Structure 1
Amino acid sequence: MERRPPPAAANRCYAQRRFWEERYRRAGAEPQEWLGGFERFRALLEPELRPEDRILVLGCGTSALSYELHELGYRDVTSIDFSPACVEAMRSRYAHCPQLRWAIMDMRSLTFPDASFDVVLEKGTLDVLLVEEADPWHVSSRGAAAMRRVLAE
């Protein structure tokens, strides 16, 4: 019987920039919706958003979320990811939408001035802060500190 590595070890790669760089260099900017596309969350998001909101999308990956928001009239959308290959691919894919902004940035240390955004959206990137946790219901002090740091940003 083959022994499987504990989940934390198997998922550790998701917190590594190298993993994402290789993935995005191979796959390019083909849309990847980890938890579902915009339509899955639209009914929850639209009542909370106003067209004039300054929106930040954390860990955008190759999700079409930023573009779909733009197409619905949300003109001030900035998307960040810590993978340069991802950001390059997204800038290229959506070059026809110059109002969309893309930045290489780590969500744990944002470089924007305070109060730059009215809304911060996250659709499956915070989980990378907890990939080494043995039990997601009993998070270590290290994992809790990482989560607090991002949420405070």
Structure 2
Amino acid sequence: MSTMDKIENVKQQYSNDKNLSVRTKLHLKHSTNKQGFVPWLFDKYEFPENCRILELGCGNGGQWQDQIENLPKCCSLTLSDFSKGMVDIVRTNYSKCNNISFQQIDIQNITFPDETFDIIIANHMLYHIPDLSKALSEVKRVLKTDGKFYSTTNGNGGMRPFLHNALKHFNHDGDTKAFTQELSFNLQNGYKILNGYFSAVKRMDFEDSLSITETQDLVDWIKPTISIASYSEKELDGLFDYFEDIRKEDGAINIEKECGLFISIK
């Protein structure tokens, strides 16, 4: 089991939306693709009228902000997360929406009958799952025939090797496994994995990069990720100065991103 899918680490990281908000802020503020990842996703989603939608690992429900009113007539949305803290947050944020329900769910044991949902969404969360095979079997079970499963993930390139090289530069003895181990579900292996459960799978890449002009934003992003890899904050001494030198020399800290979407049909 990698550091990304150790259950206690995941619980700690996502007990509330503090770390998620920091990560989201970096991409919203410094991404070069100004369309934005969430608007791009909603261009790809297809929600028929009267459909039932389940989001697994919804986090703070940020992708639905300003989108609920755009759902087709008579659609219902269930927002769920493994973390009770996240479920409490989305319940507070969307309690006035009468077409949304809220539930704490472990994707490895989805508490709904067979063929309940027309659409299931799992964004940037499948690589956290200890038993991915069991999780995808559960998704397939509760998805209706011809229903669609939308899942996003990162690739093994881009930001992860960039950070690995940076951390090794100023701390040769540091543990950088969080940035060297392949994600259990990634852009490179996702098609093959999903193809074992669904009748059709399509991969779509989101072209983007980061051009970071405020060094502290990157350091703030790294801190919770480093904690997954058992780094202490003391070991981060010098990190700001290292990146600040890059920013001053190049005008920005430029990092390629690998991110995309799989659309799977049962």
Scaled to the shorter chain, the TM-score interval is 0.5 to 0.7
Match of 2:10 in 1: 16
Deviation above 2 Å: which 4+ runs of structure 1? 8-16, 27-38, 63-70
Q: Is the 8 A contact 1:32 1:62 kept in 2?
A: no
Change (3 A) 1:123 1:28: closer
How far the C-alpha of 1:38 sits from its partner, in A, is: 2.8
**Mapped partners of 1:111, 1:31: distance in 2:** 31
RMSD: 3.1
Distance 2:20 2:38 in 1: 17
Give CA deviations for 1:16-60 in whole Å, capped at 9, x if unaligned: 323311x43xx3996975986530212211xx3212211111100
Q: Secondary structure at the match of 2:117?
A: coil
The one-letter code sitting in structure 2 at the alignment partner of 1:60 is C
Change (3 A) 1:11 1:107: closer
- Per the TM alignment, residue 119 of structure 1 is displaced from its structure 2 partner at its CA by 1.0
Q: Does 1:71 align with 2:56?
A: no
Q: Does 1:102 align with 2:102?
A: yes
* AA of the residue aligned to 1:52: N
Whole-angstrom distance in 2 between the partners of 1:30 and 1:113: 33
Which digits, 9 at most, give the CA deviation of each residue in 1:47-90, with x for residues without a partner?
x3212211111100013234555221243111110111111111
For 2:177, the equivalent position in structure 1 comes to: none
Matched, 1:57 2:55: yes
**Counterparts of 1:98 and 1:31, CA distance in 2:** 29
1:148 aligned residue: 133
Between the two proteins, the alignment pairs up a number of residues equal to 126
- Structure 1 gap segments, 5+ residues each: 1-7, 130-142
Q: TM-score, normalised by structure 2?
A: 0.41
Structure with bigger gyration radius: 2
Aligned equivalents of 1:10, 1:65: Cα separation in 2: 22
Contact 2:4 2:127 in 1 (8 A): no
For structure 1, which segment, 77-86 or 32-41, has the greater mean C-alpha deviation from structure 2 after superposition?
32-41
Q: Which has the higher contact order (CA 8 A, sep 6+)?
A: 1
One-letter amino acid of the structure 2 residue matched with residue 119 of structure 1? I
The one-letter code of the counterpart of 2:12 is R
Separation (CA, whole Å) in 2 of partners of 1:40 and 1:71: 17
Deviates more, 1:95-104 or 1:52-61: 95-104
Structure (1 or 2) with the greater strand fraction:
2
Following superposition, the deviation at residue 102 of structure 1 comes to 1.0
Q: In percent, how many aligned pairs have the same letter?
A: 22
Structure 1 residues 118-129: aligned runs within 5 Å: 118-129=118-129
The letter for the 2-side match of 1:19 is Q
Work out whether residues 38 and 63 of structure 2, in 8 Å CA contact, stay in contact via their aligned partners in 1.
yes
Alpha carbons of 1:58 and 1:10: their partners in 2 closer, same or farther (altered >3 Å)?
A: closer
TM norm structure 1:
0.67
Task: Compare 102-111 and 56-65 and name the one that shifted more.
Answer: 56-65
| Aligned equivalent of 2:89 | 89
